[in-house]
Amino acid sequence: MANNEHTITIDGTEIHFKAGQTIMDAALSAKIYIPHLCHYPGLTPSGNCRLCVVELNGKDVTACTTQAQPGQQIRNQTPELNAARMAITQMLFVEGNHICPSCEKSGNCKLQAMGYYLGMRDEHYPQFNPRREMDASHPAVLLDRSRCILCDLCVRASREIDGKNVFAIAGRGIHAHLIVNTVSGKLGDSDIAVDDVAANICPVGAILIKEKGYVAPIGRRIYDQHMISDVAFDEHVPEHKEHGND
Amino acid sequence: MKTGQSSISPSDKSTRRIAIDPVTRVEGHGKITLLLDSDNHIREARFHIVEFRGFEKFIQGRPYWEVPFFVQRLCGICPVSHQLAAAKAVDQLAGVDRLTPTATKLRRLLHFGQILQSHALHFFHLTSPDFLFGFGSDPVRRNIMGVLEKHPEIALQGVKLRKYGQQIIEAITGKRVHGTGTLPGGMNKPLTTGWRDALLTDIENILLWSGNAVKLNEQIHTANPEHADFATFPSNYLCLTGEKGELEFYHGGLRARYPDGAFIFDQFDYCDYRQILREEVRSWSYMKFPYLHQLGNDRGWYRVGPLARVNNCDRISTPRAEAERKRFRAYGHDKPIHSTLAYHWARMIEALHCAESIQNLLHDPDITGTELVAEKGDRRHEGIGVIEAPRGTLFHHYQVNDEGIITRANLIVSTTSNNQAMNESIRIVADKYFDGREITEALLNHLEVAVRAYDPCLSCATHALGKMPLQVELIDAAGERVHRLTKDSTGQYVS
């Protein structure tokens, strides 16, 4: 491409971008996969999972929060970056209780799929085995905090799409945890509904629709059939709901 | 706390303590202690399960629909049995009393496949080396590879029988080991016509090979007096049977018989199992000792599994297996057979019944139906699922709160029910083969054979190319080690 005013280059491939797009937006539009867990097109990027870190002109930046600028030279699929992504993924695994063999999210879990994508063979780091509160107080939605990776997607989806404010992240650093914005702190006292985006956007098994586990047979789950890198391009949250659901 | 049926303890100065450690793996590690009196006679045998599993505890706090896939990880050989027992309990928790015909038949087909593969593994891979080469033969050859070399036709039939059962499991659960399949009130996918047709292609061979296995066991058992007499002792027997007293693996009422064959009870609703069963805890083992409450802990222990089922049932619903059951019964003069090694003969009769039942189900139009899940009713707070697993009656009992979270669980697995019987078998074998002076290779081999009759999980490493590490120590009454025999990881014995 002769005109680079609206192009960037990722791993040697020059792609167009639209004004205002992030590097992640541009890459996804061009069907170039940059690993990510906390990004979801249509939601404000937060840059907190750090998996989408790419090398831009010799510096590490998060692709989901960095604006695309003409002429950027970006390195994405490098051994060093993927090694760092693997370490991050392994840390996410050990920080929670991710027991894939019995987890109902298995096969549809982005964390698990990311592990497969990166060639993760073990967890490497010592298990934290955290004891975190399970909240089953809602009749249709289950919150299992032991699997939460603090991606913040439910927080943003509830506020930006559902028009509610069900979730928040409280605490800092290792003490950060997902809370429910009710006086009791219980999901059952919130106004979350089963078809809210926030109830369905969790990339892992932290927020689940009750009694729907294992309905998809082995072989027909998303990541039984596809690598996470192949199905990341069609995702987009629905339009903002003015009043949310009941 | 009771400490067992004998008053003798290892610290008793009048006894000697012999530890066989490890005898093999029980999802980890098992150990035998033989307690001798001052005359060097076996006074008591203790089969220790030293690995703590903890499933009953750590499923507390989990949602009830997750349980079948959590607890199936108890075992790599019979996970389907745990999944199905839990699924039956989960059906009740979801308010479902009756599944669709297709779901019921898919679960039954799955269970027949599971028992077939497990029984094939148990006999061909783990037991046949003992039977074909002799209990005391060279351990380097006494394994499935040795059978493949010396008796390739028998070994290959066993391997293919197991493979066929695993294919059924894969067809229904998506994987040969630890798949999914059951849902509260049903199943998650139908059996495709492609899978059905593929399975039907091989069924005649499966029937033939299952029948051959029964004949082989009958021949071995009846031709070798040592087999008939090996660890033979009278016991009670417990299992599920169908409404008409037929052999039944998936659903039925509890039946128990005295050693002479008289009923202790029959068609007892398993949801009330706590009325008839108690579990005794002994300080030296993580495995409990269940017993029939009405007979007390001294007389109330019982055996479960193939021998119990074939002894207990009045008939088998499929013709070839029923004919073999009648031969089995005739051999026992129409009374219960108490020989521990007859477990294997009964096991292969059941494998034949599985093969016949699989054929019937594959020809049933319902098996490829698509009505898979029954409508849920009102959530209940308690669910009890009981099933006949390959090794015997398996109890899964769960309680949940209003939010669907498990608050209490009780699992009585088959091997637990056979706990006292295994101790008794070991005691009898040790008493017969211990020379009063030292542990011999022959004694070790015979103890392993006794345990293996009940459960290959306890001896799965034994035939791993003959390389099970095994150490036996002889400790005198003063607590001094006077002899040690070790079988190392190459199968060699070292004094």
**B174 and A219: CB-CB below 8 Å?**
yes
**Confidence band of B286 (pLDDT split at 50, 70, 90):** confident
* Residue B430, phi then psi, degrees to nearest 5: -65, -40
Mean pLDDT of B413-423: 89
**B179 and A218: CB-CB below 8 Å?**
yes
- Which of chain A's residues have a Cβ under 8 Å away from the Cβ of B61? 134
pLDDT in tens, B354-409: 999 999 999 999 999 999 999 999 999 999 999 999 999 999 999 999 999 999 99
The CA distance from B370 to the nearest CA of chain A, in Å, is 14
Quote the pLDDT of residue A245.
39
The one-letter amino acid code at B470 reads: L
- Which of chain A's residues have a Cβ under 8 Å away from the Cβ of B65? 104, 210-211, 213-214
**A218 and B73: CB-CB below 8 Å?**
no
Percent of chain B with pLDDT over 90: 64
Which of A187-201, B140-154, B242-256, B261-275 has the weakest average pLDDT?
B140-154
**Confidence band of B51 (pLDDT split at 50, 70, 90):** low
Summary mean pLDDT of chain B: 87
Note the Cα A148 to chain centre separation in Å: 11
**Confidence band of B464 (pLDDT split at 50, 70, 90):** very low
Q: Which two tokens stand for residue A62?
A: 């998060």
Quote the pLDDT of residue B10.
40
The CA distance from B403 to the nearest CA of chain A, in Å, is 6
pLDDT in tens, B95-118: 999 999 999 999 999 999 999 999
End-to-end CA distance of chain A: 51
Given a contact cutoff of 8 angstroms between Cβ atoms, the answer to whether B177 and B79 are in contact is yes
Given a contact cutoff of 8 angstroms between Cβ atoms, the answer to whether B448 and B24 are in contact is yes
**A211 and B404: CB-CB below 8 Å?**
yes
**B188 and A216: CB-CB below 8 Å?**
yes
CA distance B243 to B245: 6
- Which of chain B's residues have a Cβ under 8 Å away from the Cβ of A216? 188
Quote the pLDDT of residue B150.
93
pLDDT in tens, B127-186: 898 899 988 777 778 788 889 999 999 999 999 999 999 999 999 999 999 999 999 999
**A214 and B65: CB-CB below 8 Å?**
yes
Q: Using CB atoms, which residue from B180, B183, B376 is nearest to A218?
A: B180
CA distance B130 to B60: 42
Q: Please give the radius of gyration of chain A, using alpha carbons only, rounded to the nearest integer.
A: 18
The CA distance from B189 to the nearest CA of chain A, in Å, is 6
State which residues of chain A have pLDDT below 70. 1-5, 240-246
What H or E segment, with its residue span, contains residue B227? helix B225-229
- Which of chain A's residues have a Cβ under 8 Å away from the Cβ of B73? 101-102
Give SS3 for B333.
coil
Q: Which of B474, B481, B475, B451 is nearest to B463 (CA)?
A: B451
Residue A197 CB coordination number (10 Å): 24
**B69 and A134: CB-CB below 8 Å?**
no
Quote the pLDDT of residue B415.
85
Given a contact cutoff of 8 angstroms between Cβ atoms, the answer to whether B354 and B210 are in contact is yes
- Which of chain A's residues have a Cβ under 8 Å away from the Cβ of B189? 217, 220
Q: Which two tokens stand for residue B394?
A: 């398996």
**Confidence band of B448 (pLDDT split at 50, 70, 90):** confident
DSSP state of A66: S
Q: Does CATH place domain B69-374+411-417 in 3.30.110.30?
A: no
Mean pLDDT of B282-300: 89
Domains of chain A and any CATH numbers: 7-77 (3.10.20.740), 81-230 (3.30.70.20)
Quote the pLDDT of residue B217.
97
CA distance B257 to B190: 39
The CA distance from A9 to the nearest CA of chain B, in Å, is 42
DSSP B67-115: HHHHHGGG-SSSHHHHHHHHHHHHHHHTT-----HHHHHHHHHHHHHHH
CA distance B391 to B413: 9
> In Å, what is the CA distance from B202 to each residue of B350, B355, B358, B359?
19, 11, 11, 10
Residue A137, chain B, CB below 8 Å: the answer is yes
- Which of chain A's residues have a Cβ under 8 Å away from the Cβ of B406? none
Residue A136, chain B, CB below 8 Å: the answer is yes
Given a contact cutoff of 8 angstroms between Cβ atoms, the answer to whether A27 and A13 are in contact is no
Helices B193-223 and B152-173: angle between axes, nearest 10 degrees: 140
- Which of chain B's residues have a Cβ under 8 Å away from the Cβ of A211? 65, 94, 184, 376, 404
Residue of chain A whose Cα is closest to the Cα of B94: A211
**B174 and A137: CB-CB below 8 Å?**
no
Q: What is the dihedral of CA A189, A190, A192, A194, to 10 degrees?
A: -10
Residues of B with CB under 8 A from a CB of A: 61-63, 65-66, 69-70, 73, 94, 173-175, 178-184, 188-189, 376, 403-405
**B188 and A211: CB-CB below 8 Å?**
no
Mean pLDDT of B434-463: 70
Q: Work out whether the CA dihedral A197, A202, A206, A211 comes out positive or negative.
A: positive
Identify whether B234 is preceded by a cis peptide bond (ω within 30 of 0). no
- Which of chain B's residues have a Cβ under 8 Å away from the Cβ of A136? 63, 403-405
Contacts of B315 (CB under 8 A, 6+ apart): B244, B245, B246, B247, B322, B325
Given a contact cutoff of 8 angstroms between Cβ atoms, the answer to whether B168 and B195 are in contact is no
**B69 and A104: CB-CB below 8 Å?**
yes
Residue A102, chain B, CB below 8 Å: the answer is yes
CA distance B78 to B252: 20
* Residue B482, phi then psi, degrees to nearest 5: -110, -15
Residue B458 has pLDDT above 50, yes or no: no
Quote the pLDDT of residue B2.
33
**A217 and B181: CB-CB below 8 Å?**
yes
> In Å, what is the CA distance from B295 to each residue of B29, B33, B258, B299?
32, 27, 10, 6
**B94 and A137: CB-CB below 8 Å?**
no
Summary mean pLDDT of chain A: 94
Q: Which of A153, A163, A155 is nearest to A235 (CA)?
A: A153
Residue of chain B whose Cα is closest to the Cα of A217: B188
Q: Check residues B75 and B421 and name the one with the higher pLDDT.
A: B421
Q: Using CB atoms, which residue from A103, A137, A215 is nearest to B183?
A: A215
DSSP state of B173: H
CA distance A34 to A51: 8
**B65 and A213: CB-CB below 8 Å?**
yes
Q: Which of A55, A63, A6 is nearest to A34 (CA)?
A: A63
Most A CBs within 10 A among B403, B406, B407, hence the mutation to make, goes to: B403
**A134 and B188: CB-CB below 8 Å?**
no
Residue A210, chain B, CB below 8 Å: the answer is yes
Residue A172 CB coordination number (10 Å): 7
- Which of chain B's residues have a Cβ under 8 Å away from the Cβ of A105? none
Mean pLDDT of B284-301: 90
Residue of chain B whose Cα is closest to the Cα of A131: B61
pLDDT in tens, B2-46: 333 333 344 455 566 666 554 432 333 456 777 777 777 777 877
Q: Name beta bridge partners: B396.
A: B385, B411
Quote the pLDDT of residue A246.
38
Quote the pLDDT of residue B7.
33
DSSP state of B494: E
Given a contact cutoff of 8 angstroms between Cβ atoms, the answer to whether A162 and A197 are in contact is yes
Residue B463 has pLDDT above 70, yes or no: no
Residue B187 has pLDDT above 60, yes or no: yes
Residue A133, chain B, CB below 8 Å: the answer is no
Which of A86-90, B81-85, B340-344, B475-479 has the weakest average pLDDT?
B475-479
Q: Which two tokens stand for residue B5?
A: 């049926």
Chain A / chain B CB contacts < 8 angstroms: 52
Quote the pLDDT of residue B288.
85
> H-type helices in B141-192, by residue range?
144-150, 152-173
Residue A134, chain B, CB below 8 Å: the answer is yes
Where are the domains positioned within chain B?
69-374+411-417
Q: Using CB atoms, which residue from B73, B174, B182 is nearest to A218?
A: B174
Quote the pLDDT of residue B450.
87
Give SS3 for B356.
helix
Residue of chain A whose Cα is closest to the Cα of B401: A136
**Confidence band of B76 (pLDDT split at 50, 70, 90):** confident
**A214 and B69: CB-CB below 8 Å?**
yes
Residue A214, chain B, CB below 8 Å: the answer is yes
